[in-house]
Amino acid sequence: MTQAAHAYRYLRSSVLDDLHGRLGLETSGGATPFGEVAHPHFFEGMLTAPSAAAAGLLAVADVAAARYYQPRLPASLDPVVTANGDRLRFESFSGCGGVYARLDVLESGLDGGGIGHGTTNVDINVPLRDALGRLGPAEPLRLAVGTEALEVITPDGPLVEKKVPLPDRWLRGFAETQVVAAGFDLRAELPAAEAVRFLRSLTAGGAGGARGPAGATQWVVPTGRLPRPTSRPVPGAVCLPGPQRLVALQRVLRHARALRIYGPPLTAGDTRPTSSAWEVELPGMRLTLTLSPDPARGFSGEGGVLDALASAGSEQDADLVAVLLAWEPRIDVAELAEQAGLSSQRVRAALTWLGTSGQVGYDTAEAAFFHRQLPYDAGRAESRNPRLRAARTLVAAGAVRPERDGGALVHVEDHVQRVRRAADGSLGCTCLWWAKYRGGRGPCKHVLAVGLAAESAASNDVKERAAR
């Protein structure tokens, strides 16, 4: 597993000052409209529901410190905070890469100074977690994200530094979750009392039998007042892959106002597990957990970004679209398409490309992309997608031989794979990857190679006609 050491550098440790009712979250290096800043300051003001906010932050930190598959003690990744001008978003990934958590503190959840723009990491340390857990339900709390008084900087540099391993698959996971979530629809909505009862029934004792610590894959069918768990998928159902991966939601249940469940559309006969998102509405906030299709399966290998990365011109489109982004809490695709002079389809592909470097996320509650920039070097998108690299190698070696039916033969070392075109225009392959996943984890390298070769041939034809 490829990984690099990532360093968080803070002026001091984040603390909860019980005496003065102040929660100070220290920030590490991050991106702002004014460029990279060592310790950006995003907000100073009151939390309108401090106890719920404390529980939500703890839930995000719980996910960052957890491994739901093959548990062991990991190095916890400090949560990412994005200030979008009207809200603060706190995000984290589990150590196993299969659970994504986000707490959206909306404008109604904040009272005081203006909210800035930018993205950075915030220090959530063990003493702070203990203090947040002790916060009383009626205690007022002032939140400061970042230090405004820069005179505390010493000649010796940052006072607190953490170095943690940052696996490549965590970075790829951020990219894949926004593609996956963009295909979700709202499937069920429960009011507070029913939401609490339902969630507790799911996470109590591994609901429905456990397969390892994360629990077995179930399906949830929206029927009547409470959704009904079932072992088989049916149209309209939502996959619950590992009920115990929702355990972080227990933190906020006493503050819950509603539960919303999101998932992709299912058709009759579709038995493959899918991802799903579970959103708890809190006072002025939303806490969302997005689960990968299987406890043993992280988001990094889902392959949802590959078609966009392989599309001709998508990198150039992404460069253009990136210039137009300004930490919007809701990206209007149609408006962005008009500004960029591109089709909505090309803009969506460009947003997917930007997601591979952490510049775009997706909010299921608002069915909209949002802008952020992850505060670490994400590197080139292609370098983190071995299938795409392998496909380009096949094309460069002349391994793709098109056939008249729209398919192709792909010569790979001492064997040949056949890529076939179905009646609906989709491509399938004879390789083991395709036989195992049937496109459920994105295209295989052979299908990608055929698409790349076709685009290259079409581009050459245009150039030849223009030269005549």
pTM, two decimal places: 0.85
pLDDT in tens, 12-36: 999 999 888 899 999 998 999 988 8
On average, the pLDDT of the chain sits at 85
What confidence category does residue 131 fall into, taking pLDDT thresholds of 50, 70 and 90? very high
- Picking from 333-347, 387-401, 453-467, which range would have the lowest pLDDT averaged per residue? 453-467
Helices 344-355 & 333-340 angle (0-180, nearest 10): 100
Token code pair at residue 269: 């006969």
Alpha helices in 311-444 (DSSP H): 314-324, 333-340, 344-355, 386-396, 432-437
pLDDT in tens, 65-107: 888 877 665 557 899 999 999 999 999 999 888 999 999 999 9
Distance (Å) of CA 282 to CA 28, 76, 186, 366: 27, 25, 18, 15
pLDDT in tens, 277-323: 999 999 999 999 999 988 888 887 666 667 777 776 777 888 899 99
Report domain extents, the chain.
3-87+106-165, 306-355, 385-467
Residue predicted with more confidence, 267 or 154: 267
The pairing of beta strand 22-25 with beta strand 142-145? parallel
- Picking from 12-26, 69-83, 216-230, 231-245, which range would have the lowest pLDDT averaged per residue? 69-83
| DSSP reduced 3-state for 67 | coil
DSSP 262: E
Helices 50-64 & 126-133 angle (0-180, nearest 10): 140
